[in-house]
Amino acid sequence: MERNPDFLKKKYGNLHISDEVDSAVHRHELREGKKVSNKPNERIQVYLDRFKEITEREDEEDRGKGINALKEVLYKQYISIESGEDIPEAHIELQRRIAREQGHGDVEIDEGKLDEYAEIIRADQKQSLDQWVDYLASPDAMYPDWLKYWAMRSVLNLSDYDKEKKAFGNRSKDTTKPFPDLNHEALAYVLDVIQKRATGSTVDNPVQERQNEFAAEGKKVISDEEFQKMLSAENFSKLYAFAIEHVTADHSELYKITDGEWVVYPKGSPGHELARSLQGHGTGWCTAGEATANAQLKQGDFYVYYSKNPHGDATIPRLAIRMEEDKIAEVRGVAHKQEIDQYISPVLEEKLGEFGPEANEYRKKTEDMKRLTEIDTRNKAGEELSKEDLSFIYEVNRQISGFGYTRDPRINEILKQRNKSEDIAFIIGVEGQELNSDTALQMIRSGRIAELSSFLSYFSNLSPEVANLLIKNGNDWFVSRNIESFSGLTPEIAEHFSRKHDMIANNLSRFQDLPLETAYRLIDTGYIGSVFAHNEKFKGLDILKVISSILESGSASILLNELYRVKNLSTEAANLILDKGEGDIILLNLRSFVNLDLNVLKKLAKYAEERGDRVYKEYRGVLNVYRASFAVSDEEWEEVVK
């Protein structure tokens, strides 16, 4: 991937000395054991490499945890509406006005209602932010890291798009609106032109080039001078708004026309022609960016179906089939979230027939979309849904398959209107009962174990007795797959699943009174972090002995990365680590220690001073944060920080 942090240095002059870059550089130096150059570009690149390390982790679970941790940091910094008290008066007045317009008269909004509004606002903001993080962290976002950073940092300061002003609003602390919608096509265009500009390539004015087409759609024609001025400013907000307004278009009124032709862009061919054929048509496909088109064509052929415009020319993209070698990698349409629109399905079905068995998966998706559409229509009409309908919409037996990047939004739209407990109780024939241990035991005793196993994920707080009965009847696989439905599980159950180290480690909160053998087995198989995080679950576990054993084995890096999971570590633990010359472990996990005395603090200060001025300065700065947890008098404290 292209390395070009110089763009970021020019755009954000102090980025290389910011706290987040300092932290990344310090972490890198501790891990690698060598100092990073003070050159701005090299410091910024270390910062960018930290994000790449997270998004390119081979272990999917580990990658997910890293991305979720990144999201939590962004939530904390950029989503400030936490309770009803944080909602600005303007938003409250808007809710009052809506209530009046709906015929409810002048209503007072109490504290409980405000807190409910706050929850909705936070959820919407998180979801809108997640779509950017998920996409930019995905393999589909084939852009350099510096471009991803620029886009993400820009989006964090923007509100939604004002169609009348044709501009994005700026975010403030009390902004209640979501982050901007992600338009893959518009984003691809913006990142494309900035990448071209950064490499010295010429960027043409797309509106001027196609001014007749846009004039026919009532679009304003932008002069070359205006376009180049906007481009040179490198303002994401303005470029993204420009791309939405002028580079993408809405051809939904032409969807009923399905006559057209398939065009194949062969593997290895340049992406310019493919990308340009998609721009200005509102497909939402990231392939509208030339860089992405080039990257995708390196992997395989790319098929596009163009339907005819009012002049009879096949120019409107409707379907895309992207190949990776001889396999279908994805199928995209131009409906919401890149689903297949209702008119073009027969065209896709006919084309898939040419791919033989490879097309079976996509036929299933087509059938699922047809059934989902039918259920959605009946649900909106207020019709009752059958058990079969509900089993489908709740994805009891399998997930609903679609062609979009994400789960079909209609599923959640339907489920939001439903009472989950009542629906599942209806499906399994226990109407009026709670989905708890009593109901589960009733089903087991009446011989409905197989049926219960299919619905375990919808139960909660299931007892060890339920788990034991399922295990006894040969359904232990269902217990392990739905372990989150259980609580208070016994050591015997843990022993039964002793070889499922990942399942035990990731669900320790659901067990109780586990033996030391389980702890050491998890440690030996690489789950020391989970043991640290839930050390209270193990009877008689001596954390000090575990730390000593790890240090003796020469695996100090494990403690460096995992010790933060342990709370209330003693002075004895600190001395043990310092005596092994591993003070970095304490410096990076100081919050895990309590009651450190003057002697330890002095030893730690000496260690930090020997590590260099910057480490020593950082150590002294963090001391004040944890002052209350140290066992030193005010006089001794002055001696520590002098």
Segment 545-554 shows an average pLDDT of 88
CA-CA-CA-CA torsion sign (278, 284, 290, 296): negative
Q: What is the pLDDT of residue 466?
A: 93
pLDDT band for position 327 (50/70/90)? confident
Mapping DSSP to helix (H, G, I), strand (E, B) and coil, where does residue 383 land?
Answer: coil
pLDDT band for position 165 (50/70/90)? confident
Q: Is a pLDDT exceeding 90 seen at residue 441?
A: yes
Rounded-to-integer distance, Cα 337 and Cα 321, Å = 16
- Give 266-272's long-range contacts (Cβ < 8 A, gap of 24+): 266/297, 266/301, 267/297, 267/298, 267/299, 267/300, 267/301, 267/323, 268/297, 268/298, 269/297, 270/294, 270/297, 271/295, 271/296, 271/297
Tell me if 36 sits within 8 A of 17, measured CB to CB. no
**Can you give the residue ranges of every domain in the chain?**
6-180, 183-334, 371-426, 440-641
Segment 388-406 shows an average pLDDT of 82
Rounded-to-integer distance, Cα 581 and Cα 579, Å = 5
Give kind and range of the element (H or E) at residue 276: helix 272-278
Task: Take residue 278 and report the two structure tokens written for it.
Answer: 């998609």
Segment 5-23 shows an average pLDDT of 83
Q: Is a pLDDT exceeding 70 seen at residue 259?
A: yes
Residue 132 Cα to chain centre, angstroms: 8
Tell me if 263 sits within 8 A of 303, measured CB to CB. yes
Segment 587-598 shows an average pLDDT of 87
Query: Which residues share a beta bridge with 327?
Result: 324
- The H-assigned helical ranges of 473-554 are 476-481, 491-496, 501-506, 516-524, 528-533, 543-552
Tell me if 20 sits within 8 A of 152, measured CB to CB. no
Q: What is the pLDDT of residue 507?
A: 92
Segment 310-334 shows an average pLDDT of 89
197/123: higher pLDDT: 197
